[in-house]
Each structure stands twice: as structure tokens, then as C-alpha cells.
A = this chain, B = another copy of it.
Amino acid sequence: MPQLPTSAPVTATEDLLRLEHQVCFALNSASRAFGGFYREALRDLELTYPQYLAMLTLWEHRELPVKRIGELLRLDSGTLSPLLKRLEAAGLVQRTRSPQDERSVLVSLTPAGAALRERAEQVPLRIAAATGLDPAELRALHGMLQGLTDRLDTASGATGRE
């Protein structure tokens, strides 16, 4: 970090704010660095990272309504609808209206989509190796991030709406 020619005295508060900037920027950078790494690892599967996440939920649950995928991935229909259409166009998933509730669209794996799981299983191996973190560190990081997301979501939810 290069020293900057601004006002000399740095208070504890200023220091905290600077640090907070660095943290959220570091978060943003790390997320994009991960994205780049996944992009490479997923190239031969012809999946983007968000598409891969959607497939993960389906490999685990076989069939899910769009709404539920959105809850699991923290995404809304504005993002999911076109994404799922692309997965359908690629022949990996099928979308059908639920007979019980015609509003709901059930997304399920096609045979090709289910088959892709095996090829996808080698992907996280490379990623885990590239992080250079051991399980304990991963666990610690995961806990911090999850707590952070929860606090930010409830904070913006509380002040922004309701």
C-alpha cells in the first residue's frame, strides 16, 4: 500500500474505515479470482460458474422449483430465468409447470445433465488445491463469510424495507 499525501494524523476511526474498504475490496477481488479459476476449470464442461452452481443444486436434489433454487443460490428470477433457459437449451435440464401449482416451474435433470455430474466431480479438486488452504482454514473462512452475509442481508433488509 503506497503512502498517500493526505492529512497526516490517522485516527483509529479512519484506520477502521480504511481497513473496511480493503476488506470489501478484497472480498470482491477474491470472488472474481475464484470466478476466473472456475471459468478455466469449467471450460470443457461448457458451464459458467453460476450455471455450475445451479447444476450442483440439481445434482443434489434431482428436481427443484425455480423459487427454491433462488433461495439456495441467493438469486432472483431475473437472473435465474435466462440462466435456466440456457441450461435447457444445452439439453442439461428440463422445465415443466407444476401440476399442483401452475405458478411454479419445476426444474429437473435430463439424462445428459445427470451424466455431467461425473465429469464435474474432478473440478473442485483443482480448486481446493489452488486455494492452498487446509480444512480448518476453509472452515474458519466459511464461518466468517456466512456470518458477514447474514448480517449484511438482515441489516439492509431491516433499514431498506419492512
Q: Choose among B32, B33, B142 the residue that contacts A22 (Cβ–Cβ < 8 A).
A: B142
List the B residue with the shortest CB-CB distance to A132: B151
Q: Choose among B49, B127, B148 the residue that contacts A20 (Cβ–Cβ < 8 A).
A: B127
Q: A144–B155 Cα gap in the complex (Å)?
A: 24
A side interface size, CB within 8 A: 62
Q: Choose among B4, B27, B132, B138 the residue that contacts A30 (Cβ–Cβ < 8 A).
A: B27
Q: Which residues of B contact A159 (CB under 8 A)?
A: 40
Q: A49–B31 Cα gap in the complex (Å)?
A: 15
Q: Choose among B20, B26, B125, B138 the residue that contacts A19 (Cβ–Cβ < 8 A).
A: B138
The minimal Cβ–Cβ distance linking A160 to chain B, given in whole angstroms, is 6
Q: Are B30 and A148 in contact (CB under 8 A)?
A: yes
